[in-house]
Structure 1
Amino acid sequence: MTQTIAAQARPRLLTAAVLVALALPGAAFAQTAKERELEARIAQLESQVQALLGQQQQTAAQVQEVRTAQAAAPAVAAAPIPAGSQPIQATTITPQANPGTKFTVGGMIRIDGMATKTTDGDIAKGTAGRDFYVPGAIPVGGEGPDTYMDAHAKFSRLWFDASTVLDSGDKLGARVEMDFFGGTLGNSAATNTYGATLRHAYLTYNNWLVGQTWSNFMDTNALIDAVDFVGPTDAVVFVRQPQVRYTSGPWTVSIESPETTVQPFGGAARIIAGDNSAIPDVIARYTHKADWGHVSFAGMARQLKYEPAPGLDSTDTGFGATVSGLVKLGDSTDIRYQVSGGEGIGRYIGLATIQQDAMVDAAGNLDALGGWAGYFGVRQVFSPSVRGNLFYARSQWDNDTAWTGLGVTRKVHSVHANVIWSPVPKLDFGVEAIWGERTLESGVDGELMRLHTMARYSF
C-alpha cells in the first residue's frame, strides 16, 4: 500500500516542480514575495516526498526482516482444535454413511527379530514357524542342531471402524482389519515384500454380529501378554472365521463356518476337507465378570465331514468345552489360564498347526480325534513402564496309531518368560525366551530354543 502511494505521488510532485521552475524566470526580480511563497511550497512538497520515501524503505526493511525470521524458524505443529470449534474438514469422511457416523482408524507398526536353535534340523525358511512360535513346526528326528536368525514386519496392522447410533436408538457398526502376513511378494535378500491379509471384516447391529472375527470358542480376554505373536500356541484356542453371533448380557451364542481337518490313514499329510458340513459349528459362551477378574465357560457341538472318494461321505460328531479366565492378585499381579478338551476340536487349538479334527480308518470312515490343551501364566507389573510374564502351555492327543501311524504328534509343550518395557504410552519393547518340545507317537522328539524380540508402536 505504501509503495503504491509513493509511486503515485512522485509524478505529481515533479510536475508541480517543473511548472514552478518555468514560471520563475519571467518574474525573477519583480515578484520577490511570490517567489518566496513558491519556494516555501516547493520545500514543503520535497519534505513530503522524502517522508514517503523513508516510510517505503522502512516498510520494505520490515517485510524482509519478517521473511528472514520465518525462513530461519523451525516448523511448528498445528495447535489442536479446541473442543466445540469448527473441524478442519468441512464434510464428513464417510459421505455415504448414515448421519452422525463416527469413523476411526488405527493399527500398529511392529518389528520382530528372532534367534532360533532347533535340535533336529531347521524349520523351513518362508514358513510360519520362522516368524513366530509354531510347536507343530518343531523338527524331529533330523540331522542335528541348527541355529539361525530371522526378522520381519509382517505383523504390522491397520484397521478401520465405523459406528452409528440412529435416531431410533439402534446401533450400527463395522470393522475391517488387515496385517501383512500374506504370501511373499518379494524376497528376504532385497525387498521383503508381503501381501496384505484380511483379519477381521464384520458388521454389528445392536446385539448381532455378522462377519469374520474371533471364534466365540476363544476367550480373547484371557490371552497371555506375550512378546511372541501368539505365546502359548501349544494350547490356546485361536481361530478367526465367518459367523453369526448374538449377545445378551453374559451369554453369547454363535453359528460358525464348518471346516474339518483330517489325518489320512497311514499318517500321510493332513487334508482340509473340501466338502464342508451342511451344519455350522454351534458355540455358546457364558462369562462372569467381577472386580477380581472374570471366568468364562464355552461349549461347542459340530459335525465333521470327509469325502474319501467322489460320492462317498463320512461324518462324525465333534464336541468340546473350554474354561478360561483372569484372576487379579492385587494391583500389579494377575493369573491367566485356559483349559480345553473334547473330540474333534483339533482345528481350534494352536492355529490348527498341531493336530487334526479327525482320523480316517482303512475303509475311509471318519473318527473324531480326542485331546486336551491348557495354559497357565502369571503377569507381574514391576513399574508403570516395565512388566513381565511367565507361562507354560501343553496339549496332548489320543491318536489311534493303527490308523495314523507313529509319525504324528502326540504332545507339544513350552515354557516362556518375557519382559516388556514401555518408555512412553503405546510404545513397547520386549524380549521373550522360549523353550518348546514336540513328541511323536514313536517317542522321537525335537526341541526349540528361541530368543524373540519385538518393537511395537500402537496408534
Structure 2
Amino acid sequence: MRYPSRRIALLCCALVGCLFTRVCADDDLSFEQFLIQADDLQPPTDGSVRRLPLTDPAPVDPPPLQPPPVADSQTVPAEAAADPPESPPPPIQNLDAAMPDNMISSQLRTQEFDSPATTSMNNDFTKFPDFVGGILIEGERAAMKIGGYVKADFISDFDPIDSTDSFDTTTIPIGAPPRRNARFHARQSRLSFDTRWKTGGEVMRAFIEADFFGDGSDGSNAFRLRHAYGTYGRFTAGQTWTTFTDPSAVPNTLDFEGAVSNVNRRQGLVRWTQPILWDGLSLAAALENPRINFEIPSGVQGVGRTESPDVIARLRYEQDWGEFQSAMVLRELGFQPVDQDVITGTAWGFNFTGSVMPTDTIKGYYQITFGEGIGSYRGSPDVIATGPDTASILPMFGWMVGCKREWSDRWSSNLTYSRLDLEAIPGQAPDNLRSTTYLAVNLINTPYERVFWGIEYLYGIRENQSGARADANRVQMSFGFLLP
C-alpha cells in the first residue's frame, strides 16, 4: 500500500524530528552517526513502507563491548561505548559570578565603588554597572569594564503634551485642541566605561557614561555626556550626580523624566566624603557648577551671571534595612543689566530623602524638597519676572512618595506620586507655572537574565498662576537589554 506523497513527507519530518531530539539529548553521538541514522530514514524506492526499529540496529562486525543498559531500554551506539562517557555540560553560570582572585579586575573592586546600595533591587536604572564579568579588558595593572544597555520605548499619548520622548508635565499645553501622539525611540540607551588601577595602595577610578538624550541638530539622538569623573579615596572630581540628590531614592519608572520633585541633576563638581562617628554615617561637602534658570523682565536687557559655585553639604546614613539623607545647598544668583554692575541674591534649599525595605521584596521611598532660587535643580525657574523691570527669587516646595514591589524573581511593579508647587508671587505672568503633578505605575518582567520589558501608565497635571489647568495621559511600553 502506498502513502500519498504529502503523508510520506509529514511522516519523514516527524521521524527526523524525533531522531534529532534524541541526538540533542545524547552527548556521545557523533555528527557522522547522525548522518548515518538520518540516511536510514530515506523512503524506499520500491514503494514499500519501511518499519523503523524501536532499538538501535545490531552492532556490525567486529562486535563491540556490550554497553550498560540505559533507562529507556535502548542500547548505546557502538562508537559511544568504546570511549569513556563524558561528564554532562555544566549549568549556565551567572555572568556576575565572582571572578578568580588572580584577575586584575578582582583586585580593583572596593567597598566604596562596588557595594550595592542597601535598598537596591532589580532593574535599577540609576545603578552603575557591576565591575565583574561581562566585557572586561585587563592590562598588567589596570582593568576596564564596558557597560550600558539598550532600551527601546514605545509611547502613546492620549492628550496634548509637548514633551514626546519623556513625560515632562510642565510641557502640558493649557487650552490646546485635542490631539494624540505616537513615538518610538531608543534615546535612553547608554554606554559606559569604568577604568580602574592602583596608585599608592589606593584604587583609582575613571568613569564615563553617555546616552542619546542630547539636543542634536534634528532635536533628537545626539550623544550626550552623563557622567565623566574620577575618584581617588574619598575625593571625587568631574561630572556626576549632584551632592544635593540621592540616586537611591530615584523612582524606578520606565519614563525617562521621572517624578516632578525629584532632583536628577548631574553637573561638574569637586567633592570630599568623610565617614564620621559610627558605621554607616558619612558627611560630604562639595563645590558644584552654578547653573541658573533666569526669567528676564521684558523691559530689561541683560544676562544671568554665576560668579561663585554652589556650595552643597550632605549627611547620609545607611543600614541594611534602609538609608536616609539630608542635603543643603547655598548659591548666589546674579544678573547684570547692560552697562551696569552685577545684581546678586542668595538662594538656598534642602532636600530630605530616604528609602526603607521592610522586607526583601518591598521598598518604600520618599523625598521632600524646598527652598528659594533652586528651581533649576528640577527644571523650573530660579528667578521670575514680576513686572517690566522687576524680578524675584522664586520659592518652591516639592514632595514624592513611592513603592516598589517584587512579586517574584521575574515580575516587579513601581508606583510613584509627586507634586511640585511654586510660590504665587504677585506680578508674574498668568501663564507661569503654579503647580504640577506626576503619577506613574508600571509592571516590569525579566524573562531572562539582563533582559526586561514592561508597561507603564503615566498621568500628569499642569496648573498656571491664573488657575487654568490641563492634564495628560500616556501609556509607555519598554524593552531593555543590559550589557553583562
TM-score (norm 2): 0.68
The one of 408, 428, 433 aligned to 2:432: 408
Q: What is the correspondence of 1:289-304 to structure 2 with a 5 Å cutoff? A: 289-304=318-333
Change beyond 3 A, Cα 1:363–1:130: closer
1:181 matched to 2:224? The reply is no
2:415, 2:299 → 1: CA distance? 35
Which residue number in structure 2 is paired with residue 430 of structure 1? 454
Supply the RMSD in Å over aligned alpha carbons: 3.0
2:425, 2:270 → 1: CA distance? 35
**AA matched with 2:358:** L
2:421, 2:298 → 1: CA distance? 20
**AA matched with 2:181:** Y
Structure 2: unaligned runs, 5 residues or longer: 1-31, 37-91, 94-98, 105-135, 276-281
1:222, 1:261 → 2: CA distance? 25
Q: Alpha-carbon deviations, 1:330-368, whole Å to 9, x = none?
A: 12112111110000110012xx1xx20112444755532
* Percent pairwise identity: 27
Please state how far the C-alpha of 1:255 moved relative to its aligned partner.
0.5
Check the 8 A contact 1:260/1:306 in 2, yes or no: no
1:370, 1:256 → 2: CA distance? 21
**AA matched with 1:367:** S
1:253, 1:85 → 2: CA distance? 37
The one of 309, 316, 337 aligned to 1:308: 337
1:241 matched to 2:267? The reply is yes
1:397, 1:148 → 2: CA distance? 29
Q: What is the correspondence of 1:212-361 to structure 2 with a 5 Å cutoff? A: 212-232=239-259, 234-249=260-275, 250-265=282-297, 275-349=304-378, 352=379, 355-361=380-386
1:300, 1:366 → 2: CA distance? 22
Change beyond 3 A, Cα 1:332–1:84: closer
Which residue number in structure 1 is paired with residue 234 of structure 2? 207
Check the 8 A contact 2:297/2:390 in 1, yes or no: no
2:299, 2:448 → 1: CA distance? 51
Please state how far the C-alpha of 1:312 moved relative to its aligned partner.
3.5
Secondary structure, aligned partner of 2:359: coil
Which residue number in structure 2 is paired with residue 378 of structure 1? 403
Change beyond 3 A, Cα 1:315–1:446: same
The one of 437, 440, 445 aligned to 2:469: 445
Please state how far the C-alpha of 1:238 moved relative to its aligned partner.
1.4
Change beyond 3 A, Cα 1:307–1:421: same
Check the 8 A contact 1:298/1:323 in 2, yes or no: yes
1:202, 1:295 → 2: CA distance? 24
Change beyond 3 A, Cα 1:455–1:310: farther
Higher helix proportion: 1
Check the 8 A contact 1:297/1:321 in 2, yes or no: yes
Secondary structure, aligned partner of 1:136: helix
Check the 8 A contact 1:111/1:151 in 2, yes or no: yes
Secondary structure, aligned partner of 1:146: coil
Change beyond 3 A, Cα 1:307–1:360: farther
Change beyond 3 A, Cα 1:224–1:310: same
Secondary structure, aligned partner of 1:356: coil
Q: Alpha-carbon deviations, 1:79-99, whole Å to 9, x = none?
A: 99x958999xxxx9687xxx5
Q: What is the correspondence of 1:151-190 to structure 2 with a 5 Å cutoff? A: 151-166=184-199, 168-184=200-216
Please state how far the C-alpha of 1:310 moved relative to its aligned partner.
3.6
2:233, 2:464 → 1: CA distance? 48
Change beyond 3 A, Cα 1:105–1:399: same
2:346, 2:102 → 1: CA distance? 60
1:299, 1:290 → 2: CA distance? 22
Q: Alpha-carbon deviations, 1:277-315, whole Å to 9, x = none?
A: 221100011111122211110011000111232434221
1:360, 1:294 → 2: CA distance? 39
Q: Alpha-carbon deviations, 1:141-190, whole Å to 9, x = none?
A: 222x2111101011111010111122x21231101111112234669xxx
Please state how far the C-alpha of 1:231 moved relative to its aligned partner.
2.4
**AA matched with 2:249:** A
Check the 8 A contact 2:294/2:304 in 1, yes or no: no
Which residue number in structure 1 is paired with residue 82 of structure 2? none
Check the 8 A contact 1:314/1:365 in 2, yes or no: no
The one of 418, 438, 457 aligned to 1:393: 418
Check the 8 A contact 1:412/1:438 in 2, yes or no: yes
**AA matched with 1:108:** Y
Q: Bigger radius of gyration, 1 or 2?
A: 1
Please state how far the C-alpha of 1:274 moved relative to its aligned partner.
5.1
2:474, 2:101 → 1: CA distance? 52
Change beyond 3 A, Cα 1:265–1:183: closer
1:274, 1:180 → 2: CA distance? 30
Change beyond 3 A, Cα 1:429–1:112: same
1:230, 1:132 → 2: CA distance? 5
Secondary structure, aligned partner of 1:347: helix
Please state how far the C-alpha of 1:425 moved relative to its aligned partner.
2.1
2:366, 2:289 → 1: CA distance? 26
Please state how far the C-alpha of 1:259 moved relative to its aligned partner.
1.9
Secondary structure, aligned partner of 2:146: strand
Change beyond 3 A, Cα 1:178–1:422: same
Please state how far the C-alpha of 1:131 moved relative to its aligned partner.
0.3
Secondary structure, aligned partner of 1:348: helix
Please state how far the C-alpha of 1:422 moved relative to its aligned partner.
0.7
Which residue number in structure 2 is paired with residue 116 of structure 1? 157
Secondary structure, aligned partner of 1:263: coil
Larger deviation: 415-424 or 302-311? 302-311
Check the 8 A contact 2:296/2:391 in 1, yes or no: no
Check the 8 A contact 2:172/2:470 in 1, yes or no: yes
Secondary structure, aligned partner of 1:221: helix
Change beyond 3 A, Cα 1:373–1:186: closer
Change beyond 3 A, Cα 1:441–1:360: closer
Please state how far the C-alpha of 1:383 moved relative to its aligned partner.
0.7
Please state how far the C-alpha of 1:266 moved relative to its aligned partner.
6.0
The one of 187, 192, 197 aligned to 2:224: 197
The number of residues matched between the two structures is 357
Change beyond 3 A, Cα 1:411–1:157: same
